Amino acid sequence: MQEINDLKAAVDGGADFGELARENSDCPSSRDGGDLGWFGPGMMVPEFDDAAFALGVGDSSGVVETAFGYHLIQRTG
């Protein structure tokens, strides 16, 4: 948990989200800088979905915990 909190602090401090995702994520999307592509409401697990659709464009989430692990979300569109 400390590692993702440190990553969140780095994002909040202006670090490049995509670069951090490439270096730290174990999700297949890491090769694309964490880009999951387009998805609509209800397409992700509820915790992720709720956090993602509560964000404004350009905003980053707090730490989101799902059955798949811990996540940081940045909305780009």
What would the pLDDT profile of 24-48 be if each residue is shown by its tens digit? 999 999 999 999 999 999 999 999 9
To the question of domain 2-71 being in CATH 3.10.50.40, the answer is yes
Q: Where are the domains of the chain?
A: 2-71
CA distances (Å), origin 77, targets 1, 35, 36, 47, 51: 28, 11, 12, 19, 14
Indicate the pTM of the whole model: 0.93
Comparing C-alpha atoms, which of 13, 14, 30, 26 is closest to residue 70? Answer: 26
Residue 77: pLDDT over 90: no
CA distance 69 to 72: 10
Q: Torsion angle of alpha carbons 16, 8, 45, 32, nearest 10°? A: 20
Which segments of 1-77 does DSSP mark as H helices, in order? 2-12, 17-24, 46-54
